């Protein structure tokens, strides 16, 4: 009798999960952005969320849960119910680099289910306006002439701006003093105010301030110029050949989220990326669309693993200290 009751309860539970998945979504969805509002990750996700809500027929809300290079926000998503109502926004920093820096308490590959690869951001080398340099070569000379390490704003250890800073130190043979913020949105405020010397930032975050003449831009860390900022040279043109880094982003959900829920979220993200108005908004910020053959959940999973293999050795060699 007891076994029969057990079997009925299990069947009921499976039925309920299936029923919920079939009716998904039946209430608003929250996307956890692990960096401060107003920054590049927040801006991209809010543009996509506006369109995803049309496809999904439910509000897609952005919640900023910040700290520890984004690892706190990702942890919140990992621990949430695997029902598709909590989604983790992240990027090369949060879903690759942090695994080589922090004792996360979760596994970036096995505790999360990939949903969709999102646009990538070429990085840009920018400084406060007061720096007396008008080219990358002059800027490098200025950096090397400073009596103490110049201050570089980041979104915390392991964030995209931090990894880009480590890479910049490596290729330029300089030493930087990192100043962590809860996102490069707040870091940008201090750069404009001249409180810090530089950021190796996501182009989409800097482009507005560059155009307004509030900060100086020296080079894009890519082999090709950004169409919407074609006056800014590449590192290859500006004298730091090969310093290439674009920060790709993506969406994940907690492991054990039903496959058809993952498929619905993926379809909504792909729909948004295929929408001409959404593309125009994102490209105007300097963002690059993901390749068409990398838009499946499996493609993001494979890409994340390949990036872990590529970046962990460099990051571990940098021996980043976190509290
Ligand atoms: C942000 O939105 O603040 C960034 O993604 C931070 C970073 O990783 O540099």
pLDDT tens digits, residue range 113-161?
999 999 999 999 999 999 999 999 999 999 999 999 999 999 999 999 9
Mean per-residue pLDDT for 230-243?
A: 97
Question: Is the CB of 153 within 6 Å of ligand 1?
Answer: no
Higher pLDDT, 315 or 46: 46
Q: Which of 166, 167, 183, 189 to mutate to test the pocket of ligand 1 (most atoms within 8 A of CB)?
A: 183
How confident is the model at residue 323, as a pLDDT?
Answer: 59
Token pair, residue 152, equals 């570089």
Q: Is the pLDDT of residue 12 over 80?
A: no
> What proportion of the chain, given as a percentage, has pLDDT over 90?
89
Give the nearest ligand 1 atom to 40 CA. Answer: 2
pTM: 0.94
Confidence class for position 319, pLDDT limits 50, 70, 90: confident
Question: Is the CB of 158 within 6 Å of ligand 1?
Answer: no
Ligand 1 center from residue 154 Cα (angstroms)? 8
Ligand 1 center from residue 320 Cα (angstroms)? 18
Distance CA 198, CA 125 (A): 7
Q: Is the pLDDT of residue 275 over 70?
A: yes
How confident is the model at residue 93, as a pLDDT?
Answer: 98
Q: Which of 40, 249, 250 to mutate to test the pocket of ligand 1 (most atoms within 8 A of CB)?
A: 40
Average per-residue pLDDT for the chain: 95
Confidence class for position 216, pLDDT limits 50, 70, 90: very high
Mean per-residue pLDDT for 176-182?
A: 97
Higher pLDDT, 2 or 215: 215
Ligand 1 center from residue 120 Cα (angstroms)? 12
Beta-carbon-side half-sphere exposure of residue 59 (alpha carbons within 13 Å): 6
How confident is the model at residue 67, as a pLDDT?
Answer: 97
Dihedral in degrees, nearest 10, Cα atoms 140, 141, 147, 150 = -20
Q: How many CB atoms lie within 10 A of CB 251?
A: 26
pLDDT tens-digit series, residues 62-116: 999 999 999 999 999 999 999 999 999 999 999 999 999 999 999 999 999 999 9
Ligand 1 center from residue 156 Cα (angstroms)? 9
Displacement of CA 45 from its chain's centroid (Å) = 10
How confident is the model at residue 23, as a pLDDT?
Answer: 87
């Amino acid at each position: 009798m007891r076994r029969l009751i057990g079997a009925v309860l299990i069947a009921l539970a499976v039925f309920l999960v299936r029923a919920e998945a079939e009716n998904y979504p039946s209430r608003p969805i929250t996307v956890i952005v692990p960096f401060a509002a107003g920054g590049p990750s927040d801006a991209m996700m809010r543009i996509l969320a506006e369109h995803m809500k049309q496809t999904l027929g439910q509000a897609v809300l952005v919640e900023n849960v910040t700290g520890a290079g984004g690892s706190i926000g990702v942890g919140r998503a990992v621990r949430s119910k695997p029902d598709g109502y909590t989604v983790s926004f992240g990027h090369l920093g949060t879903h690759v680099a942090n695994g080589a820096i922090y004792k996360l308490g979760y596994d970036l590959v096995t505790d999360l289910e990939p949903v969709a690869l999102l646009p990538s951001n070429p990085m840009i080398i920018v400084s406060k306006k007061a720096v007396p340099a008008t080219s990358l070569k002059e800027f490098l000379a200025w950096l090397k002439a400073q009596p103490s390490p110049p201050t570089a704003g980041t979104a915390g250890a392991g964030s995209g701006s931090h990894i880009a800073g480590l890479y910049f130190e490596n290729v330029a043979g300089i030493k930087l003093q990192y100043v962590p913020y809860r996102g490069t949105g707040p870091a940008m405020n201090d750069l404009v105010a001249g409180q810090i010397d530089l950021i190796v930032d996501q182009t989409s975050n800097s482009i507005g301030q560059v155009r307004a003449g509030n900060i100086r831009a020296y080079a894009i860390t890519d082999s090709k110029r950004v169409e919407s900022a074609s006056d800014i040279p590449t590192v290859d043109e500006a004298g730091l050949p090969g310093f290439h880094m674009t920060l790709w982003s993506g969406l994940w959900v907690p492991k054990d989220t039903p496959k058809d829920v993952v498929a619905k979220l993926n379809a909504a993200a792909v729909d948004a990326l295929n929408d001409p108005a959404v593309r125009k908004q994102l490209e105007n910020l300097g963002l690059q669309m993901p390749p068409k053959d990398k838009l499946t959940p499996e493609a993001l999973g494979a890409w994340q693993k390949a990036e872990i293999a590529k970046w962990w050795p460099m990051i571990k060699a940098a021996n980043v200290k976190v509290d």
